[in-house]
Amino acid sequence: MLALVQRVSRAQVTVAGVVVGAIGRGFLLLVCAEQGDTVAEADKLLAKVLKLRVFSDADGKMNLSLQDIDGQGTQGGLLVVSQFTLAADTSGGNRPSFKAAAAPDAGRRLYAHFVAQAQLQHSPVATGIFGADMQVELVNDGPVTIPLRQTAAPRT
């Protein structure tokens, strides 16, 4: 699975003029399932995201995770948006190929699993709508943008 993590001051997703998901400080997470991905990759990717230490501590060092950023017992927000275009391959020319992306049904299942697990392990979690034409607004904090890939162990 692929993800693009953006540390944000705030972010929201709008579908047909209606805000369907919004967070304050936290991560906007664009997620893409690739062919062959399983729930194991989704679970490992989520664990990495939740433990990713890119928020500043009292000394100004990126040393805090999403779950550590507020000392008053609250956590940073997580806005999860499906984005199959992360699997784009532009090596063959100017028009991207998306062959590496999971088929829509498989992608939907893995996205739903990822979101369900995120909601069990973290709060608050907001989402976009899988497959919808979405408008994503964000204030990238830093800016900090980190690509992540969680691949399966070599298949035999």
Cite the active site residues: 83-85
Residue 39, helix vs strand vs coil: helix
Residues 113 and 21: their CA atoms lie apart, in Å, by: 18
The 10 Å Cβ neighbour count of residue 77 is 23
Query: Positive or negative CA dihedral for 52, 57, 60, 61?
Result: negative
The pair phi, psi for residue 142, each rounded to 5°, is 130, -70
Residues 84 and 34: their CA atoms lie apart, in Å, by: 8
* DSSP tag of 84: G
Residue 123, helix vs strand vs coil: coil
Residues 129 and 20: their CA atoms lie apart, in Å, by: 8
